[in-house]
Amino acid sequence: MQLNTSFIKDSDKILIAFSGGKDSIVLLDLLLKIVNKKQIAIAHINHQIREASYKDALFSKKIAQKYKIKYFETRLNLKNLNSNIEAIAREKRYKALYQIAEKNDYNKIATAHTKSDNIEQFFIRLYRGTSLSGLAGISENRDIIIRPLLDFTTTDIKNYIVKHNLEHIEDETNFQNIYLRNKIRNEILPRLNIENYDLHTHIINLMEQIKKDNEYFDGILNNFIDKNLHIFKDFIFFDINLHNSLPNNIKNRLIHLILYKFFNTSTSYNKISEILACTDESMTRPTKAMTLTTTPIKLQITKEINFYSDKNYIAIYRNNNNILSIDETKKLFEIIKEKISFFRNCELNDLFINENIKLINFTNGDKFKKYNNKEIKLKDIFIDHKIPIFLRKIWPLLSLNNEIIAIPFIEKGYYYNPNHNKK
């Protein structure tokens, strides 16, 4: 067995996602044959779902000591989850791996996914609903993630274990069909293979064809993204008219690519269809969940990621309240100023900031005293200036002595005075 080393350089520091099972012990053994052990570490993510999970952690630590490589462990608190356990565990596991890698200067994270995992993933996505592009399977690399074992089947792994007498552990839940992946692995695939012994080969070939199609369309869409998307740290937006000019199958791929490329997530075909229906100019009979684009709409894609559209923009953004910096706000203002309303005194060319000024978020109920001493709800200011809803929570507000004195690049208030507390 030889690893796919096309994504590995001599200078790489590699963090191995290590469970202690067959796949991860084989990955470790193979990597140690081609990479200096000083550049390798293993990270064990203890989900604390199973009673025996502490034994897996002890075994993983023992393996690190045996091979004299660095060991990292993160414990997750997932005991009380009642639904969607697999998806939540995966999300938190990858988050923990990225944190370990960043903190300890590892530029690659290697996972032990195999060809058999890829086939199982094909059926999982088919079962849950996905687009054609979603059936391409697990990729060999994505940002700093590499998957060197994707050419090997479960049989290959078992044979390697026997040949090299590698110590490993068995997760007893792999034989319990309480999870969809286990049902597919233990029940569905064995039954299908009775009828067709070449099934695995056919599926892998199909995934390869889809992958090539994805590469072609992704090239077109990446060009669209480079030219038309406004990309900030936690949100992305672009002109809705450009989106509506695309064919529906390309729109579908675009949303998928944005979620994957910028937010490291995905969603079902049904959710994408719901999103597209919201942005379809030809839709004349909106359902309860969807409205015409003339009225701003907001949909939750995942727990953390939202979708928004109005008559001007489409936005996909992370659900947090991180305030934009003044420089980011200036860049944003230059992009949207042609589509919003503003008064003469709103550009704030003489914007002042000192140690007494705080940048705060908008919250519902905030009041703003205008230059004419008239108090108005801050929400109404945003409405009057036609600021998109998805930007309101993150637009910085200048606050002095618990008073909002200005809304950068929109309007100065009654209390705004560059000479205040100036030293």
Distance CA 100, CA 46 (A): 14
Give me the sheet containing 141-142, strands edge to edge: 70-75, 40-46, 14-17, 108-110, 145-146, 141-142
Distance CA 51, CA 63 (A): 21
- Residue-by-residue DSSP string for 276-340: HHHH-TT--S--TT---TTS-EEEESSSSEEEEE-SSEEEEEESS-PPPPHHHHHHHHHHHGGGS
Q: Read off the pLDDT of residues 171-208 as tens digits, 9 standing for 90 and up.
A: 666 666 767 888 888 888 888 876 677 888 889 899 99
Residue 138 has pLDDT above 80, yes or no: yes
Kindly report the average pLDDT of the chain as a whole number. Answer: 84
pLDDT at 84: 67
**pLDDT band of 285, cuts 50, 70, 90:** very low
Distance CA 319, CA 390 (A): 10
Q: For the chain, which residues make up each domain, given as ranges?
A: 14-203, 229-318, 326-412
Asked if 301 contacts 267 with a C-beta cutoff of 8 angstroms, the reply is yes
CATH code of the domain made up of 14-203: 3.40.50.620
Asked if 114 contacts 152 with a C-beta cutoff of 8 angstroms, the reply is yes
| Fold of the domain built from segment(s) 229-318 | 3.30.465
**pLDDT band of 289, cuts 50, 70, 90:** very low
Tokens 């969807």: give the residue: 290
Structure tokens belonging to residue 197: 């012994």
Residue 368 has pLDDT above 50, yes or no: yes
**pLDDT band of 237, cuts 50, 70, 90:** very high
Residue 39 has pLDDT above 80, yes or no: yes
Q: By C-alpha distance, which of 341, 412, 414 is closest to 382?
A: 341
**pLDDT band of 284, cuts 50, 70, 90:** very low
pTM for this predicted structure: 0.67
pLDDT at 408: 86
Structure tokens belonging to residue 371: 């230059």
pLDDT at 350: 54
Higher pLDDT, 169 or 295: 169
Q: Read off the pLDDT of residues 78-136 as tens digits, 9 standing for 90 and up.
A: 766 666 677 778 888 999 999 999 999 999 999 999 999 999 989 988 887 777 777 88
